């Protein structure tokens, strides 16, 4: 097998972490209010009794210390949540800036950009941001069936052989941050396999930085910039390709190529390669949740799953 076009996709996989061990930002804030109120009540009681132990054997210093310890633990949990949302905030701010930058050329020509002006994203921890006490390295991930406590499993699939050539696991919910790590994984492959010449990915991976990263790795980016209609009118399908733009901007060149017939045909291979791989892993192999805990452990587990899929695929390719 020689590397050629590589299709990239990801899926959210549940972590081995009980839900009842999760602590949300909103719940933390409620507990803090409750504990601070209880501390004030205990201090008032201490002032009234003026003794360490009352007649009921109620140890005021011990009760106060217990609540202070819980408040400290809650503060540490909030700090961890705040650190975890920083990459999300940074990506949201970058996405907003990318939208602003894409509208700038229209302004320079004197035209009013279409659509509403991009709004600055809300940043910081939200009430439903959680810290899982049983699996602290897992994250809340948006999936097809709602939000799950888990990880972001990524796979790069060779379009021709339909074999997984690289697999990674991330704590980041946004696929835009997965292109650079996956290209680094592809560079680790044996030289005898050759070098990938194109990367196919859906709109979830699109960013100006990712397009330029592919160019820097001498890989042609075919990353969807939006959701196109699956049923184009016949007249549009028969329309000749527009002239190739005379520009050095890799994003403009990629946008043109994706609209050209050759680019459409090459990108169309993504749906019938990488997406079936995830379907087989979940439906046929039955892998829907990690058994291990911790990022290093689940990364090894995900690579074993990729190996299991490849063995099954190679058996089919051999015609056995």
Task: Say yes or no: 274 and 194 in one domain.
Answer: yes
Query: How far from chain centre, in Å, is Cα 47?
Result: 53
Task: Say yes or no: 83 and 185 in one domain.
Answer: no
Task: Residue 235: give its domain's CATH number.
Answer: 3.30.420.10
- Phi and psi for 46 in degrees, rounded to 5? -65, -40
Give dist(CA 296, CA 169) in Å, integer. 9
Task: Say yes or no: 177 and 45 in one domain.
Answer: no
Residue 137: the pLDDT is: 85
Give dist(CA 75, CA 316) in Å, integer. 54
Q: Is residue 51 part of a domain?
A: yes
Task: Say yes or no: 206 and 247 in one domain.
Answer: yes
Q: Is residue 129 part of a domain?
A: no
Q: Is residue 209 part of a domain?
A: yes
Task: Say yes or no: 287 and 247 in one domain.
Answer: yes
Task: Say yes or no: 160 and 212 in one domain.
Answer: yes
Residue from 31, 28, 34 nearest 126 by CA: 28
Which residues of the chain fall below pLDDT 70? Answer: 17-21, 50-58, 134, 145, 228-238, 320
Q: Is residue 73 part of a domain?
A: yes
Residue with the two structure tokens 């106060």: 64
Residue 214: the pLDDT is: 96
CB 185 within 8 A of CB 168: yes
Residue 131: the pLDDT is: 80
Task: Say yes or no: 154 and 280 in one domain.
Answer: yes
Q: Is residue 57 part of a domain?
A: yes
Task: Say yes or no: 181 and 306 in one domain.
Answer: yes
Sign, CA torsion 112/113/115/119:
negative
Give dist(CA 220, CA 200) in Å, integer. 9
Task: Say yes or no: 196 and 221 in one domain.
Answer: yes
Task: Say yes or no: 256 and 165 in one domain.
Answer: yes
Task: Say yes or no: 88 and 144 in one domain.
Answer: no
Say how many domains are in the chain.
2
CB 63 within 8 A of CB 54: no
Give dist(CA 25, CA 31) in Å, integer. 10
Q: Give 140-184 pLDDT, tens digit per residue.
A: 787 776 777 889 999 999 999 999 999 999 998 889 999 999 999
Task: Say yes or no: 93 and 155 in one domain.
Answer: no
- pTM comes to 0.72
- Encoded tokens for 5: 């076009």
Give dist(CA 29, CA 155) in Å, integer. 38
Q: Give 177-214 pLDDT, tens digit per residue.
A: 999 999 999 999 999 999 999 999 999 999 999 999 99
Residue 257: the pLDDT is: 94
Q: Is residue 126 part of a domain?
A: no
Residue 87: the pLDDT is: 76
End-to-end CA distance of the chain: 18
Domain span at 173 = 5-17+137-317
């Amino acid at each position: 097998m020689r590397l050629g076009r590589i299709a990239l996709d990801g899926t959210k996989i549940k972590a081995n972490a009980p839900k009842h061990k999760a602590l949300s930002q909103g719940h933390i804030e409620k507990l803090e209010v409750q504990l601070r109120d209880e501390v004030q009540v205990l201090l008032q009681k201490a002032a009234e009794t003026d003794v360490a132990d009352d007649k009921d054997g109620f140890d005021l210093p011990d009760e106060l210390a217990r609540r202070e310890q819980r408040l400290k633990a809650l503060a540490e949990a909030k700090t961890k949540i705040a650190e975890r949302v920083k990459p999300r905030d940074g990506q949201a701010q970058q996405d907003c800036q990318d939208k602003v930058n894409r509208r700038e050329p229209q302004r320079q020509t004197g035209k009013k950009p279409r659509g509403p002006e991009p709004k600055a994203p809300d940043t910081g921890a939200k009430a439903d941001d959680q810290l899982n006490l049983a699996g602290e390295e897992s994250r809340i991930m948006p999936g097809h069936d709602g939000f799950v406590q888990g990880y972001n499993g990524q796979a790069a699939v060779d379009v021709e052989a339909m074999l997984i050539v690289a697999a990674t696991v991330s704590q980041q919910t946004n696929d835009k941050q997965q292109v650079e790590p996956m290209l680094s994984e592809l560079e680790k492959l044996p030289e005898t396999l050759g070098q990938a010449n194109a990367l196919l990915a859906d709109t979830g991976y699109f960013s100006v930085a990712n397009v330029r990263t592919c160019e820097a790795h001498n890989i042609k980016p075919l990353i969807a910039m939006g959701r196109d209609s699956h049923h184009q009118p016949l007249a549009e399908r028969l329309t000749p390709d527009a002239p190739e733009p005379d520009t050095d901007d890799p994003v403009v060149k990629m946008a043109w190529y994706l609209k050209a017939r050759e680019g459409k045909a090459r990108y169309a291979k993504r749906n019938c390669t990488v997406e079936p791989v995830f379907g087989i892993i979940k439906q046929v192999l039955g892998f829907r949740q990690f058994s291990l805990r911790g990022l290093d452990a689940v990364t090894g587990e995900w690579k074993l799953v990729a190996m299991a899929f490849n063995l099954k695929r190679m058996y089919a390719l051999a015609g056995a």
